[in-house]
Homo-oligomer: A and B are copies of this chain.
Amino acid sequence: MPARTVRSDRTLRRPGENLGRLLAENLRVKIMGGEYLPGARLPSEAQITEEYGVSRVTVRTAMKLLESQGLVDVRHGSGSYVCDFGSGIMAGLQELRSMSASIRDMGMTPEIERRVVVRRKPTATESGRLQISEDDSVIYIERAVSADGQIVAFSYEVILDTGFPARVVERIGKVSMFHDLEQQGLLPVRALAKVHAVSSKEIGWGRGRPDSGLYLLLDQVHYERHGRPVVYSQTYFVEGRFEFAILRTR
């Protein structure tokens, strides 16, 4: 009898989710967990079809998704294979995830210190990036992110304020900002990031500030699933304390 674990998972009830994505997540966990080693061949689409009790159409969408994420390589007439760099380094920049989750994946403990949290009007630049009027309201935050006690990034963030209750603002960004935003129906699903090398003594604060003043800047706008900008952030990663990888595909 088929497992049907995928079908019964109620994550499906969230908008934008579907069976294909869910199956992809499932397979992803198995691959990351080492069930299928790099270079190994995955079960055939027919086998996966049986095992999970879904149609081959669904299996194919899942495989194609994993392929686009660089986790597997689907070869016509041969099979699907786990890519060589699949497990280890792979917490790539092209994937939109919370910083704390990425840090946890690397086996380290994340910690977040909020320095500023205010509700205010946006500046001209900010209203431009978020495509809102200068009369609208935003929530401004300054945070420092640490891994195992060492600061890895300083972040300056501007969040679209759709009338957040005060109690939400109170704890926003304390753990995962993604989670907070999802509650408000503003879950970011895409982000366009511009990357720069920056050398400046003006960035950051406190004891954890590096001597070098050398940072990798991610200047990015996050969008929710209908294309509306929800967050504009500038995150300065201390050079050398964070491994940045990008998977580039054809």
Q: Which of A198-224 touch B at CB < 8 Å?
A: 198-199, 212, 214-216, 220, 223
With A18-B76, A214-B199 already in contact, the answer to whether A194 and B94 are too (CB < 8 A) is: no
For A221-250 the 0/1 string (1 means CB < 8 A from B) is: 001011100000000000110011111111
Q: Are A245 and B193 in contact (CB under 8 A)?
A: yes
With A73-B225, A84-B223 already in contact, the answer to whether A193 and B68 are too (CB < 8 A) is: no
> Which listed segment binds B: A45-53, A141-149, A160-168, A184-192?
A184-192
Judged by a CB distance under 8 angstroms, whether A108 is at the interface is: no
Residues of B within 8 A of A95 (CB): 248-250
- Tally of contact residues, A, Cβ under 8 A: 54
Q: Are B196 and A244 in contact (CB under 8 A)?
A: yes
Judged by a CB distance under 8 angstroms, whether A65 is at the interface is: yes
A212 to B197, CA, bound (A): 11
Judged by a CB distance under 8 angstroms, whether A118 is at the interface is: no
Judged by a CB distance under 8 angstroms, whether A140 is at the interface is: no
Q: Are B196 and A239 in contact (CB under 8 A)?
A: yes
Q: Are A243 and B61 in contact (CB under 8 A)?
A: no
Q: Are A197 and B216 in contact (CB under 8 A)?
A: yes
A20 to B160, CA, bound (A): 38
Q: Are B197 and A94 in contact (CB under 8 A)?
A: no
With A61-B64, A76-B18, A214-B197 already in contact, the answer to whether A192 and B96 are too (CB < 8 A) is: no
Query: From residue A82, how far is it (CB to closest CB) to chain B in Å?
Result: 9
Picked from B94, B197, B227, B244, the residue with its CB within 8 Å of the CB of A249 is: B94
Judged by a CB distance under 8 angstroms, whether A81 is at the interface is: yes
Sorted from nearest, which 9 A-B pairs have the closest CB atoms? A68-B68, A197-B197, A96-B248, A195-B244, A191-B248, A94-B94, A197-B239, A197-B216, A189-B250
Known contacts A190-B250, A193-B247, then 7 further A-B pairs from the complex at CB < 8 Å, ordered by chain A residue: A60-B61, A68-B69, A94-B248, A96-B249, A196-B216, A196-B244, A198-B214
